[in-house]
Amino acid sequence: MELLIQQSQASGTVTAPPSKGMAHRQLISAALGSEVRAVDNLDWSEDILATLDCLQALGACVERKETGVQIGGLDPFANGAPLTLPCRESGSTLRFLLPLALLSGREVTFLGTPRLLERPLEPYERICAQQRLFYDRQADRLTVRGPLRPDEFEIQGDLSSQFVSGLFFALPFLSAPSRVTILPPVESRPYIDMTMAVLRNFGIRIVGVGNDKYHIPAKQKYRPHPVKVEGDWSSAAYLQALNFLGGNVRLLGLDPLSPQGDKAFDSYLKGMRGKKPTLNISDTPDLGPILMAVAAAGHGVTLEGTHRLQYKESDRGAVMAQELEKFGIQAVVDENRIWVEDGVLRTPTEPLDSHGDHRIAMALAVLLTLVGGRLCDAEAVGKSWPGFYETLQGLGIVIQNAEEQNSEDGSGI
């Protein structure tokens, strides 16, 4: 889908969409409860649907309602015929559920796009090798077979916090205690804090014992209770960016005490007003694309701690640099640093490309509100925020389907 986004200014009041990161964690925890309970305020993004499909395939009772689900009753030790779990392109789904799939002795195959299966999974591969568990990774699938045993696990701290979270979901079920050590440097710590906060609410104890070491007591049970997913600070960043670009958007539904690390975006914006700051985003890598977009409209930025952007749905630093060049803005991408130069933003003379990445699509759409232009593969936002463009339109941003526009005027843009 190609969209024509016209130069227009955002104004109005909007409620932030539900947090995808919290929803994954709360759905998994609720599914592992012995009784069915409600998880409300869900957005039906592709990633959340992937997690729900996989939880149901694993044996959870899932009943979809208008704004949420009734979910529970998943027994991760259930054996039987081999299972197939459709992860689509959701890295959270795959990495969170893989250790749970290893609790039983049944064969479980995770299906996903080639890009998903290209993303790092080495910590789990090492665990399976150490415990002599079956692990077979192909271009579009990963097959594993347990059972996982209690152990002392070491996880790289600068690859992805999702490996730590995945173990935290599964290890409390085991018959003996385990220990998880996160090897320095530890990045994305707020995401680990999110997982621990959700687990506490479901009655699971993860005990910090110093120096990024965690003790996980054995034979724990998830305590079922209804939950409502809180607003998403990651999505709110795109709306906050509209204000930075001159808009007047009032945001509702965000918890200032949330463990979500991406609430740091507000402080990043304050540091970018009138100057070119240096920001370390090692704890908040998902903010990389929108920070690059905002910097392109401002005075530039130096981003540090960016090496993990290459492992996302696209190589985000590289593709943002490629797209910013169409605006006349130069960006240089190094192994762990990105420079966005100061410049004069101009209307692109060729369509922008989301590269199939939802965060690239949203960041470019926000930037186009300043100068206008076309965005290809715009439907990529469905991975995390299906209603993104409708939200922009509700704030006064003029968006049209480019094909319909061409048929109306007989010309391009």
* Active-site residue list: 286
d(CA 117, CA 148): 22
Residue carrying the six token digits 């889908």: 1
C-alpha span between 319 and 359 (Å, rounded): 11
> Which residue's structure tokens are 């339109």?
393
Helix (H, G, I), strand (E, B) or coil at 310: helix
* String of DSSP letters for 226-254: -EEPPB-HHHHHHHHHHHHTT-EEEEES-
The radius of gyration of the chain from alpha carbons, rounded to an integer in Å, stands at 22
**Of 241, 258, 217, 259, whose CA–CA distance to 369 is shortest?**
241
Q: Which two tokens stand for residue 277?
A: 């700051």
Q: Minimal CA–CA distance to 348: which of 334, 327, 331, 364? A: 327
Tell me which amino acid residue 15 is: T
Q: Which of 13, 35, 45, 34 is nearest to 234 (CA)?
A: 45
| Helix, strand, coil share of the chain (percent; to 5) | 40, 20, 40
CA angle, 237 then 67 then 34, to 5° = 105
Token pair belonging to 61: 């009772």
